[in-house]
Amino acid sequence: MVRLVQSLVDGALQGSVLSLAAVGFSLIFGVLQIINLSHGVIVVLGAYLALMLRRLWGVDPLIALPAVAAVCFAFGYVYQRYLISPAIRRANLLYSLLVTYGVALVAQNAFTLVFSPDNQSIRPDYANQFFRIGGVTVNVLQIIAFVASVLLIALLAFLLRRFPLGRTIRATAEQALAARLCGVDVDEVHALTFGLSAAFAGAAGVLIGMLYPFAPTAQENWTIYGFVVVVLGGAGSAAGALLGGLLLGIIGALTSEYIGPAYPNAVVFLVLVLMLLVKPNGLLGSAFGGSR
């Protein structure tokens, strides 16, 4: 019984970080209707920015998180406004796949050139502290990452529901033409949405860098995880991203514990295929699909 509870706890703690890493991917897919194949690059960029701040000035990663998120927001805004948006206007949405995939390849090689292809880590001094509850071991750093991830996802959900910008994003996602006729600058909203997505991806990168080793090639995995979470939870929904990430983490932890550490990806993709067959819109459905 303790073994099962330990796996569930580990899976939920890991899944919360996966949720934060994927919520931006979900938001872009739900609002802009594009698959951002460079999403993992922004996650890894957040980790490397935190690494630079720690090496240069000894800044704790948690303290660096807001600054990293701000830099990633600016990067995402410029990236969408001046690269992705012109590509879509001159061609179609398919070109966004080519553009984002090309950026992912260029960025991966740039990271390799600047930081080397080796694994890096920004684990703080308190990373190895833990406590036990009824025989279940819980790492303090994982608890911190879990709380930070849930709070940030809740902040995004609150922003989308209560803030004027959030309501504008939702309106644009549901009926872009109607929003444009009402005077909304749709291009600006798309750029702000992309920037918001990048900010959360960068914040996730900081937490991921604290928990796991990372390298330039890791960007591919985080893009794939983002897609899996969207399929499991639903597009454009903060709650869907949280649910999808938790499921992904728990499935991976249970598979590692009871089947073997070599099989989590196989089981996850089996679940992904089943979900596409049974409920292709995800468990919570598309957050912006009601009026389309």
Residue with the bigger pLDDT between 64 and 280: it is 64
Q: Are 245 and 15 in contact (CB under 8 A)?
A: yes
pLDDT digits (tens, 9 = 90+) for 3-61: 999 999 999 999 999 999 999 999 999 898 888 999 999 999 999 999 999 999 999 99
Q: Are 232 and 275 in contact (CB under 8 A)?
A: yes
Query: Does 224 reside within a domain?
Result: yes
Query: Does 65 reside within a domain?
Result: yes
- CATH number for position 114: 1.10.3470
Query: Does 285 reside within a domain?
Result: no
The answer, as to whether pTM is greater than 0.85, is yes
Q: Which of 225, 246, 10, 221 is nearest to 149 (CA)?
A: 246
Residue with the bigger pLDDT between 176 and 104: it is 104
Task: List Cβ neighbours of 6 (8 Å cut-off, separation of 6 or more).
Answer: 135, 136, 137, 257
pLDDT for 289: 57
- Write out the residue range of the structural domain in which residue 196 sits: 2-278
Query: What residues pair up with 136 in beta bridges, in sequence order?
Result: 133
Q: Region 168-196: what's the mean pLDDT?
A: 92
Query: Does 287 reside within a domain?
Result: no
Q: Which of 180, 256, 267 is nearest to 232 (CA)?
A: 267
Q: Are 287 and 234 in contact (CB under 8 A)?
A: yes
DSSP assignment letter at 128: G
pLDDT digits (tens, 9 = 90+) for 115-172: 999 999 999 988 889 999 888 999 999 999 999 999 999 999 999 999 999 999 999 9
| Dihedral sign from CA coordinates of 264, 39, 193, 196 | positive
Measured between its terminal Cα atoms, the distance across the chain in Å is 46
Query: Does 202 reside within a domain?
Result: yes
Query: How many domains does the chain fold into?
Result: 1
| Dihedral sign from CA coordinates of 42, 172, 67, 241 | negative
